[in-house]
Structure 1
Amino acid sequence: MASKQDRQAENEKIVTEAKERFTRCEEWESDSRRKFVEDLKFANGDPDNGWQWDAAIITNRVNDDKPCLTINKTRQHNLIITNDAKQNKPGVNIKPVGDGASYDAAQVFEGVVRHIEYQSSAEQAYDTASMFQVQGGIGYWRIVTDYVSDESFDQEIYIRRVKNPLAVYLDPDIAELDGSDARFGFVFEDVDAEQFKKEYPDQSEYLASTSFGIEGCWGGKDKVRICEYYRMEDKKDRLLAFSIPEGYEQAGQQIIVRESQMTDDQKAVYELVKDVKDAVTSRDIVTDEIMWYKIAGDRVVDSRPWPGKYIPIVRIVGEETVIEGKLDRKGHTRAMKDAQRMYNYWASEATAQVALQTKTPYVAPAEAIENYESYWQQANTSNAAVLPYNALSDNGKEIPRPQREQPPQMASAYMQGMQICENQMMMSSGQYQSQFGQNENATSGRAINERQRQGDTATYHFIDGLSVGIRFTGVILVDLIPKIYDTERVIRILAKDGTENDIQIDPKATDAYQQTPQAGPKEAKEANSVAAIFNPNVGRYEVESDVGPGYATRRQEAFNAMTQIAAQNDKFMEIAGDLMWRSADFPLADELAERWSRIIPKNITGEGPPPEIQQMTQMIKHLQDTIVELNKKLTDKDADLNVKEYDATTRRISAIGNSGPTITPEQIQPVLMQLLQQMLSSGGPEEPQAGFEQPPEPQPMMQPQGMM
C-alpha cells in the first residue's frame, strides 16, 4: 500500500500534468472562446444591454443626441433552429450485434436509456447545449454516477447539463466530431467556500491558492473554483483464451477475457487448465483506464476510477474548422452580425431623422392671426375645437387662411436600407419568410413547402450535430449500464410510446432477455410482477440516432390524418375506428378505443377467417345437411352406390378445405355442381328399407390453417 508521501508525490505529478494540459487547451481555444462570448452576447442583445452596438459608437451617438436602437432579428433566426430541435429531438436506437444479443434485449436497453434520461431531466441538458451550439458554436453536457440514496450501495447514471460551456475543456487532439477519442478533459465549477470546507475539512487551508498558472482563477473569499480532471491512463494487462474442460457444465465453451476482469468462476476454470500444454493462449495488451480527480488549489482532494471507457463529456458543435493551424468555431449568429448591425443603424437613423424635425407648423399672414396669437401659439400642444383668424383686412380685402405644412416624412433611403438588411439576414442565414410564417412570392402549398425545406436544409448541420452528441451519449450509456447496474434490482423503464414496465436486472442471468408471465392466475401475476429479466452483460450492441418528431407529435399527426380520412370515407370507422381513438390523447380515449374494437368484425382485426371463407363454410354446411336429408329417402340397394359417391364427394370437399388458406370459391364450384347433378338425378322411395344402414355422418370441414 502506497505511503502518504508517495500519494502526495503522485498527486503533485497529476496537478503538474493537469496544468500543462490546461495551458494547451487555453492556447488552442483562446480565439474561439473570445468570439464565442462576443457571438453569445450579440445573439442576446436587447435595448437595455446594447450588446449589438460597439461601445465607441454608442458613446458618439449619445453625445450627438442620436438613438441606438436594437431590433434583434438574430434571436428569431436562432430560435427557429433551437425550437425545431426541441420538437424533433433525436432519440437513441440500440441494435443487437451478436454474442447473445437479441432484439428484445435491445428494446430493453433503449428503455433503460430512456429511464436514465427521464430521471435526469436530460431534455434540459440537450436544450441548453443546443442553445449554446446555435448561438455561440458549441455546447456540452455530462454523464455522472451517484448513489441511489444514502442507505444504498446501488448507483444510478445521470445526464447533467452544463450551464456554462466556457467551464469545459476537452483534449485539443481529438479527431472525432463527438470527442469520443478524447484522452483528457476538464470541468470547472465555482462552489461556495463554506460548503467546500464541510466536504473537505482537511483541505480548507488551500482555498486561497492559485492554480494552472492563472492568478485569480482559483479561490476567493466566498467562492472556490473546483476542477474535475479526467485522464486516460495506460494499463498493462494480459488477454487470455481457454476452454472449459470436459466433465463441467458448458464443457468446450471458449472463454476470452482480460486477466484483470476475470470472475471467480473463470479464475477457477483457469486454475484447472493453466498448466495443461497448449490449453491457454495469452498475449500482453495495454488497455485504457480513466481516472477522475478533483483538484482544489494545487491539491488533489479526491480521486477514483471512472468505470467507463470514454471521457464522460459530450459536446455538440455548430461549425468547426482548422484554418492555417488555428481553430475557428462558430454558430448561427456569426454570419448575421453585420446585417443585424446595419439594420439597427438604419432603424436608428430613420427614427432620428423624424424625431429631430420640428413639429409641423402653420403658415399664416400676420394679419390673419392678429389679436388671436394666444390661440395659435398653442395650436400644436392643445386640442382646441376652433382656431379663429381674421378673414378680411382693414380695407375689406380677403386674407388667406392659415395652412399647415406637410408633416415630417421618413427618408425612403432609410426604409430601403432596412429592407435590404432584412433580405441580407435571410440570405446569410438561409432562412426565408416562409420559416417565420410570413407571406412571400411563393403562393402554392408546394412552393411554400419547398422554400421551408430549403431553409431546413441550410441549418440542418445544427440538428445533425445534436444527433451526433445524443448518439455518443447512447454509446457511453451502453458501455456504463452493465458496469453500474451490476447487482439484482428492479427498475421501471419507458417505452417509446410512454408506457412503463418493471424490468428485473440480473447480471447472472444466462440470457440477455427472458420473458416473464404477464397473464394467468392472480398468484402468477403477483409472483412475476416484472415484465422481463434483463442481463446487460450478455451480447454486443450498436447505437444509432434518429431525427424526427417525438412519439407524442407523431401520435397527434396520426390522429389528425385519420380524422380527415374518416370525414371523407364513411366506412373508415367501421374498420379502423379503434385505431383512431387509440391515437387520440384526450381523457377516456383509450376506453373509447376498447369499446369501439368490440363492434369491428373479427376478420378485419385478424382474429377470424376472411368473409369468403365464412361464406364457403356455410355453403358446405348447407350441402352436408342436404346430403343427410337425402340419405334418409334412399330405399334400394342401388342407392347405396350413390351414398358412397356422395360420401366420396364430401370427403373430397373436406380435403380441399384442409389444403390450406388458399381455397377459393372457384376451386369448390365444380365439385358442388357435380354433387347437385347427382342429387337431382337420384330417386327412390321416400321411406328407407328396413335394415338399411345409414351412411356415416359427414365430418364438418376443417378450417384452413391460419384462419382460426
Structure 2
Amino acid sequence: MSDEDILEEAREAFQLAADAEAENRREALDDLRFARLGEQWPERVRRERDLEGRPCLTINRLPAFIRQVVNDARQNKPAIAVHPVDSAGDPETAEVFNGLIRHIEQCSDAEVAYDTALDFAVTCGLGYFRINTRWAPNDTFNQDLAVERVANPFSIYGDPDSTAADSSDWNTAFVVDSLPRAAFEARWKGADAVDWAGDRDGGAVSAGREAADRVAVAEFWRRERVTRTILALSDGQVVEEEAYAAQKAMFDALGVTVVGRPREVGSHRVTQRILSGAQVLETVDWAGRFIPIVPVYGEELMIDGRRRLRSLVRDAKDPQRMFNYWRTTSTELVALAPKAPFIGRKGAFETDAEKWATANVQSHAYIEYDGPEPPMRQGFAGVPAGALQEAMNASDDMKSIMGLYDASLGARSNETSGRAIMARQREGDTSTFHYIDNLTRAIRHAGRILLDLIPKVYGTARVVRVLGPDGTAQSVGVGQGVGGGQGGQTGAGPLKAVARIYDLSAGTYDLTVRSGPSFTSRREEAATQMVELIRAYPAAAPLLGDLLARNLDWPGADEIAQRLGALLPPQLKGASPEAQQAQAQMARLGQALAAAKAEIAALKQDRAHEARKLEIEAFEAETNRMRAMQARS
C-alpha cells in the first residue's frame, strides 16, 4: 500500500473510532473536570453570582471517595502467575516466566501504570496502560519489555467494533499525541510538520497559541488475520514451514525429517505506523499478536449497540452540586446577617461614641453610657438550620449513590462493635469491587501480551534477572533452542557462567491473576499467626522460632533466625520434606539393622553354649568309661 492509501485507511478508521467514543469522551472529560478540578458550578450561575458579589463555595467531597477505591486496590496488588499447560511446558520454566514478569514490572514501574489507569477508570470511566519495548542498557542490541503508563487517556482511540472487556479483540487503535516542533524535525528529518487531524477536546492535540509550536502525530495500530503453515518433525519439534526451509540443511545433517502432512493455522500480524497529517513517518512490524494497549474500564453498559462507560462519580454530581449550594447558602446567610445591635434611649451613646460605633468589630475594656439604664443588645437570629439539614441530606445522597458509607471512609458511625464496622466496610468494598476486578482483567490480558512477547524479545542467548515473590534477584540463562524446555547445559558465550538455560519458546503456558496483599503484608500476617500459634501451643516454639524471626521486620532478623535454626534437631536443620522423610526411613532401617545384629549375637551365643555343653557331656562320658575300666581291673 502507498502512503496515500494508508493515510486514507487511517483517516476512515480514526473517524469511526472518534464517532463511536464521542459521547463517552465528552462525559468522561466532564467527570474529570468536575471531580478533580472542582468545576462544579454552572458557568451561567457563577457569572450571575459574581456580578452580584455573592459567593460560590466548592466543597469537593468526591476525591475522598475516589481515593478510597484506588487506594484499596493499591493495598491488594494483582499478581500474574504463569502455569505450564502441555507436556512440553516445564514448571521451572514457568517460574522463570514469573520472575521475568516481576522484573519487567519492577524496572518499568508497572504499578504506577496500573494505579494511573485505575484512577482514571474510577474518576471518568476509562483509563489505559500499554506495553512497549526498550533497548537494554550497556550498549547492546538486546531489547527489554516495559509496562508504561498512559498519562492522558483521551489520547487513546480503541476499536469501535470491540466487545471484549480487555481489548483482546482490538483490530485497530490510535494513540494521538503532540510533540514540540523541534523534536519532530530532529526525529524525522525532512518530513512535513503537518498535524494529524485529531480530537482537540481530549487535549491530545494542542490548540490555540501553542499549536504553532507543536506537531500532532498518531500511532496507527492495525491487526490483520494471517495463516501460516506448520510442520511436525521427526524429533518432536513443530516449526513453521518458512523456518524449516531456511534451516533445511541443518535439519538434513541432523537426520531430522518432516513427518505427516503440513497444517494451516490462523494467527495475527500487528503493524504499528506513525503518521503525520501528510505522510507515514515510521512502520514497525510488531512481534506480538495483540495490540499492546490495555484499557481499564469503569462501569460498562451496552445500550443501543454502543458501549457506555460510567465512572464512580457520574451519578453523584447532582448531590455534590446540592451540597455546594446549601453550604454556600448557609454561609451566605450567616455572613450577611446584621450584627447584633445595641438599643438605648436617645442620647445614651454620646459618651464614648467612637467605642459604641466599633463595638461589633473591636474589643474594648469598657464603654461608658449616658442615662440611668444601660443599652440592651438584640439577640442573634441563629444558624440557618434548614440549609444545614439540606446539606446533610445531599451528603447522605452522595454516600448512598456510591455505596461508600462513614465506616468505609474512616468516620465514626452508629456501629460500635468491630464486627459491625468491618461488615459495613465490606459492604462499601463490595459496591465498588467491579472497578478493582476490571483492573484484574486488564492485568490478566497484559500478562497474555507479555507471555506472547517474552519468547520473541528474549529469544537470543542472554542472561536475564528474575525476581522471586519476596523480591530476591537471581540470574538465569535464556535462549531459543539452546537447551530445550527442560533446560540443558550451557556452553560458551554469554551463558557460560550459568548452570542451566531455559528455552522460553518451548511449550505452552497459561496464566492467572491473584489479587491480595503484597509479600510484605503477607509476611507480617504470617508472623502474627505464628505468634498466636505459639501462644496456643507453646511446645511449637522451638520448632518455629527460626521461621518466626525470619518473618519479623527487625534489624538482624536473619542472624537471629540462623542462631535459632542451629538449635533445631539435626533431622530438621535445613532439610526439605523429602529429605526429612528419607532421614526418618534411614533411621528406621538403622534400628532394624541394630536389632538384627543383636539377634545374630544372641544366636551365636546360644550356639556357643550348645557346643560347650556337648564338650562337657563328652568329657563326662570319657570319665565314666575310664572309671568303669578301672573297676573291672
TM-score (norm 2): 0.86
Q: Residue 123 of structure 1: CA displacement?
A: 1.2
CA distances 1:447-474 after superposition (whole Å, capped 9, x unpaired): 1111111111100000001001111111
Paired residues of 1:234 and 1:289 also in contact (CA < 8 A):
yes
CA distance in 2, matches of 1:498, 1:265: 41
Paired residues of 1:211 and 1:218 also in contact (CA < 8 A):
no
Q: Which runs of 5+ in 2 are unaligned?
A: 615-633
**In structure 2, what is the equivalent of residue 24 of structure 1?**
16
**In structure 1, what is the equivalent of residue 315 of structure 2?**
335
Paired residues of 1:19 and 1:213 also in contact (CA < 8 A):
no
Q: Residue 132 of structure 1: CA displacement?
A: 0.6
CA distance in 1, matches of 2:84, 2:600: 59
CA distance in 1, matches of 2:398, 2:544: 48
CA distances 1:628-668 after superposition (whole Å, capped 9, x unpaired): 89999999649989xxxxxxxxxxxxxxxxxxxxxxxxxxx
Aligned residues: 601
**In structure 2, what is the equivalent of residue 42 of structure 1?**
34
Q: Residue 217 of structure 1: CA displacement?
A: 5.5
Q: Residue 142 of structure 1: CA displacement?
A: 1.2
Q: Residue 530 of structure 1: CA displacement?
A: 3.8
Paired residues of 2:466 and 2:476 also in contact (CA < 8 A):
yes
**In structure 2, what is the equivalent of residue 119 of structure 1?**
107
Paired residues of 1:501 and 1:531 also in contact (CA < 8 A):
no
Paired residues of 2:460 and 2:479 also in contact (CA < 8 A):
yes
1:322 pairs with 2:302: yes
- Quick one: which amino acid aligns to residue 401 of structure 2? S
**Identical pairs, percent:** 31
Q: Residue 577 of structure 1: CA displacement?
A: 1.7
Paired residues of 1:363 and 1:404 also in contact (CA < 8 A):
yes
1:577 pairs with 2:557: no
CA distance in 2, matches of 1:59, 1:202: 49
Q: Residue 266 of structure 1: CA displacement?
A: 5.5
**In structure 1, what is the equivalent of residue 244 of structure 2?**
262
Paired residues of 2:566 and 2:573 also in contact (CA < 8 A):
no
CA distance in 1, matches of 2:516, 2:196: 48
**In structure 2, what is the equivalent of residue 494 of structure 1?**
467
1:232 pairs with 2:223: yes
**3-state SS in 2 of match to 1:453:** helix
**In structure 1, what is the equivalent of residue 279 of structure 2?**
299
**In structure 1, what is the equivalent of residue 438 of structure 2?**
465
Q: Residue 234 of structure 1: CA displacement?
A: 4.0
Q: Residue 422 of structure 1: CA displacement?
A: 1.4
Alignment CA distance shift 1:631-1:370 (3 Å): farther
CA distance in 2, matches of 1:631, 1:259: 77
RMSD: 3.7
- Kindly report which structure 2 residues correspond to 1:444-463, keeping only aligned pairs within 5 A, or say none: 444-463=417-436
- Quick one: which amino acid aligns to residue 428 of structure 1? I
**3-state SS in 2 of match to 1:461:** helix
**3-state SS in 2 of match to 1:53:** coil
Q: Residue 437 of structure 1: CA displacement?
A: 1.3
**3-state SS in 1 of match to 2:442:** helix
**3-state SS in 2 of match to 1:437:** coil
CA distance in 1, matches of 2:524, 2:495: 37
**3-state SS in 2 of match to 1:552:** helix
CA distance in 2, matches of 1:282, 1:626: 71
Q: Which runs of 5+ in 1 are unaligned?
A: 1-8, 245-249, 393-398, 518-525, 642-708
Alignment CA distance shift 1:24-1:563 (3 Å): same
**3-state SS in 2 of match to 1:547:** strand
Paired residues of 2:113 and 2:149 also in contact (CA < 8 A):
yes
**3-state SS in 2 of match to 1:543:** strand
Q: Residue 100 of structure 1: CA displacement?
A: 1.1
- Kindly report which structure 2 residues correspond to 1:242-641, keeping only aligned pairs within 5 A, or say none: 242-244=232-234, 250=235, 253=236, 255-262=237-244, 264-265=246-247, 269=251, 280-284=260-264, 287-366=267-346, 368-390=348-370, 392=372, 399=373, 401-514=374-487, 529-530=497-498, 532-566=500-534, 570-602=538-570, 637=610
Paired residues of 2:178 and 2:205 also in contact (CA < 8 A):
no
TM-score (norm 1): 0.77
Q: Residue 334 of structure 1: CA displacement?
A: 0.6
Q: Residue 375 of structure 1: CA displacement?
A: 3.0
- Quick one: which amino acid aligns to residue 398 of structure 2? M
Bigger RCO of structures 1 and 2 (CA < 8 A, at least 6 apart) = 2
1:142 pairs with 2:130: yes
- Quick one: which amino acid aligns to residue 321 of structure 1? L
- Quick one: which amino acid aligns to residue 188 of structure 2? Y
CA distance in 1, matches of 2:41, 2:423: 36
CA distances 1:120-147 after superposition (whole Å, capped 9, x unpaired): 1111111111111110011111111132
Identify which range, 372-381 or 279-288, moves more after superposition. Answer: 279-288
CA distance in 2, matches of 1:24, 1:113: 35
1:131 pairs with 2:132: no
Q: Residue 412 of structure 1: CA displacement?
A: 1.0
- Kindly report which structure 2 residues correspond to 1:8-157, keeping only aligned pairs within 5 A, or say none: 10-46=2-38, 51-149=39-137, 151-157=139-145
**In structure 1, what is the equivalent of residue 620 of structure 2?**
none
Alignment CA distance shift 1:352-1:491 (3 Å): same
**3-state SS in 2 of match to 1:70:** coil
CA distance in 1, matches of 2:470, 2:254: 50
**3-state SS in 1 of match to 2:223:** strand
CA distance in 2, matches of 1:346, 1:55: 18
Paired residues of 1:115 and 1:493 also in contact (CA < 8 A):
yes
Paired residues of 1:240 and 1:280 also in contact (CA < 8 A):
no
CA distance in 1, matches of 2:538, 2:257: 80
Paired residues of 2:267 and 2:289 also in contact (CA < 8 A):
no
Alignment CA distance shift 1:361-1:192 (3 Å): same
- Quick one: which amino acid aligns to residue 108 of structure 1? V
Paired residues of 1:218 and 1:297 also in contact (CA < 8 A):
no
Alignment CA distance shift 1:124-1:213 (3 Å): closer
CA distances 1:467-491 after superposition (whole Å, capped 9, x unpaired): 0111111100110011111211001
**3-state SS in 1 of match to 2:487:** strand
**In structure 1, what is the equivalent of residue 617 of structure 2?**
none
- Quick one: which amino acid aligns to residue 356 of structure 2? W
